[in-house]
Chains A and B, each alone.
Chain A
Amino acid sequence: MQNVRIWFSKTGAVKYISHLDLTRCMARALKLSGLPVWYTQGFNPRIYMTFAMPLSLGVSGLRECVDIRLTEETGLEDAARRLSAYLPADITVLGLTQPELGFEEAAYGEYELRLEAEHPEALAAELQELLAGETVTVMKHGKKGDKAVDIKPYFSLMEWRTEPGWLVLDVKLPCSLNGSVNPNLLLEALKTLRCLEPYGEITRKRLLTKDFSDMR
Chain B
Amino acid sequence: MEMYPKEVEKLLLKVQKPGRYVGGETHAVVKDKSQVDVRFAFCFPDIYEIGMSHLGIRILYGAFNQVPYFWCERVFAPWVDMERQMKERGIPLYALESGDPVKEFDFIGFTLQYELSYTNVLNMLRLAGIPLRSADRPELFNIVVGGGPCACNPEPLADFFDLFFLGDGEEVDLEVMELYRQCKKEGAGKQEFLRRAAQVEGVYVPSLYEVEYHEDGTVKSCTPKEGAPAKVRKRSVENMDTAYFPESFPVPLIEVVHDRISVEVLRGCIRGCRFCQAGFLYRPFREKSIDTIDRQCRALCASSGYDEISLSSLSTSDYSCLNELLDRLHTWTEKEKVSLSLPSLRVDNFSPELMTRVNSVRKSGLTFAPEAGSQRMRDVINKNVTREELLHTVNIAFTEGWTRIKLYFMIGLPTETADDVAAIVDLGNQVVDAFFENKEKPRGKAVEVSLSAAAFVPKPFTPFQWFGQDTMEELAQKQQLLKTTKRSRRVSVSYHGAQTSFLEAVFARGDRRLCAVLEKAVEYGLHFDGWDDCFDFDQWMEAFAACGLDPAFYANRTRGFDEVFPWDHLDYGIRKEFLAEECRRAYQAQTTPNCREKCSACGAACFKGGLCVAERKDMV
Contact = CB atoms under 8 A, between A and B. Distances in A.
B254 interface: yes
Interface string B543-557: 000000000000000
B13 A13 contact: no
A106 to B, nearest CB: 25
Nearest to A29: B305
Q: Is the interface of B mostly helix, strand, loop or mixed?
A: loop
26 contacts: A13-B4, A13-B22, A13-B23, A13-B24, A17-B19, A17-B253, A17-B254, A21-B253, A21-B254, A25-B253, A27-B305, A28-B304, A29-B305, A31-B307, A32-B303, A32-B305, A39-B337, A45-B337, A57-B13, A58-B13, A58-B18, A87-B26, A88-B24, A90-B1, A90-B2, A199-B10
A38 interface: no
B12 interface: yes
B85 to A, nearest CB: 13
A105 to B, nearest CB: 30
Contacts, number: 65
B254 A57 contact: no
B581 interface: no
A20 interface: yes
B305 A18 contact: no
A43 to B, nearest CB: 10
A27 B304 CA distance: 11
Contacts of B597: none
A16 interface: yes
B13 A89 contact: no
Given A28-B304, A90-B1, 14 more contacts: A12-B2, A12-B24, A13-B4, A16-B21, A21-B19, A25-B253, A28-B251, A28-B305, A31-B307, A31-B337, A58-B12, A58-B13, A88-B25, A88-B253
A161 interface: no
Q: Which A-B residue pairs are the 9 nearest by beta carbons?
A: A28-B305, A13-B24, A13-B22, A16-B18, A32-B305, A17-B19, A58-B13, A17-B253, A31-B305
Nearest to B259: A24
B318 to A, nearest CB: 29
A57 B303 CA distance: 27
Nearest to A26: B305
Interface residues of B, number: 27
Interface in A47-87: 57-58, 86-87
Interface in A102-150: none
Nearest to B304: A28
Contacts of A31: 305, 307, 337
Contacts of B26: 86-88
Contacts of B255: 20-21, 24
A13 B2 contact: yes
A4 interface: no
Contacts of B305: 27-29, 31-32, 86
Contacts of A25: 253
Contacts of A14: 24, 253
Contacts of A58: 12-13, 18
Contacts of A57: 13, 18
A92 to B, nearest CB: 11
Interface in B325-377: 337
Contact of B306 (A28, A39, A45, A199): A28
Interface in B10-61: 10, 12-13, 18-19, 21-26
Contacts of B253: 13-14, 17, 21, 25, 88
B302 interface: yes
Nearest to A201: B9
A25 B254 CA distance: 9
B254 A18 contact: yes
Contacts of A27: 305
